[in-house]
């Protein structure tokens, strides 16, 4: 059994320090970080509780996302088409394609998720799940609007809302993110991702 010191020294997202989103029922264990793959791949296992869901439909404008379904089946809605994927099946979402997914079953899903290229997806998840674990999200699983504006600007390459919502949010985020940063909101927090110099 790991000691407190050993657990604390593990990076966020390690098997003994998974990223947990208590509202959506998600738990992430990071398998391959950007630094492990020269920026080509970010890989994680996303455990999704029964009735668990992703906080919002979204697109990855510059990344392909690949899912290998394990554990229980999960339902995907990709480009407006809904389909149930069983364990052993693979779903691939091309860059720029609106999608969301959820666990409509009665057992935990354990899906291997790959992002190509990695970009800064790791820090996005550390931040997003860190805020959730600290109780700084609402019933939908999303942070407050000012925090969302900062995240929208900080991770614009990694994740966006689908059009037409992004056409509205993008310009608003450009205007409001500086105000939100002045009020102390950040796109990256040391308490979630560690000191920036060791990344």
Residue 121, domain CATH: 2.60.120.10
Nearest to 169 by CA among 180, 157, 161: 161
- pLDDT confidence of residue 107: 94
Query: What is the percent of the chain with per-residue pLDDT over 90, rounded to a whole number?
Result: 90
Q: Give the chain's domain count.
A: 1
Render pLDDT for 26-50 as a digit per residue (tens, 0 to 9): 999 999 999 999 999 999 999 999 9
Which two three-digit tokens encode residue 128?
Answer: 């997003």
Q: Is 68 helix (H, G, I), strand (E, B) or coil?
A: strand
Strands (E), 3-89: 19-21, 26-32, 42-48, 64-68, 74-78, 81-85
Render pLDDT for 50-97 as a digit per residue (tens, 0 to 9): 999 999 999 999 999 999 999 899 999 999 999 999 999 999 999 999
Q: Which residue range(s) make up the domain with 182? A: 4-198
Nearest to 88 by CA among 72, 104, 75: 72
Cα–Cα distances in angstroms (integers) from residue 63 to residues 8, 31, 156, 197, in the given order: 31, 18, 12, 25
- Judge whether residue 5 has pLDDT over 80: no
Residue carrying the six token digits 């600007």: 153
Strand partners for 114: 43, 66
- Judge whether residue 174 has pLDDT over 80: yes
Sheet containing strand 90-93, strands side by side: 19-21, 26-32, 42-48, 109-116, 64-68, 90-93
- pLDDT confidence of residue 197: 60
């Amino acid at each position: 059994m790991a000691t407190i010191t050993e657990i604390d020294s593990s990076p966020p997202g390690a098997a003994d320090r998974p990223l947990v989103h208590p509202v959506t029922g998600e738990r992430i264990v990071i398998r391959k970080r950007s630094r492990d793959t020269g920026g080509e791949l970010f890989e994680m296992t996303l455990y999704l509780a029964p009735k668990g869901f992703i906080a919002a439909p979204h697109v990855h404008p510059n990344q392909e996302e690949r899912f290998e379904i394990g554990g229980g089946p999960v339902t995907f809605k990709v480009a407006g088409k809904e389909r149930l994927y069983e364990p052993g099946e693979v779903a691939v979402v091309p860059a720029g394609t609106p999608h969301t997914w959820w666990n409509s079953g009665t057992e935990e899903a354990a899906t291997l998720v790959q992002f190509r290229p990695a970009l800064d997806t790791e820090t996005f998840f550390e931040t997003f799940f860190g805020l959730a674990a600290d109780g700084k999200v609402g019933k939908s699983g999303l942070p407050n609007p000012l925090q969302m504006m900062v995240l929208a600007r900080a991770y614009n390459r990694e994740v966006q809302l689908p059009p037409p919502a992004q056409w509205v949010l993008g310009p608003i985020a450009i205007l409001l993110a500086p105000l939100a940063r002045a009020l102390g909101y950040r796109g990256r927090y040391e308490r979630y991702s560690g000191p920036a110099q060791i990344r």
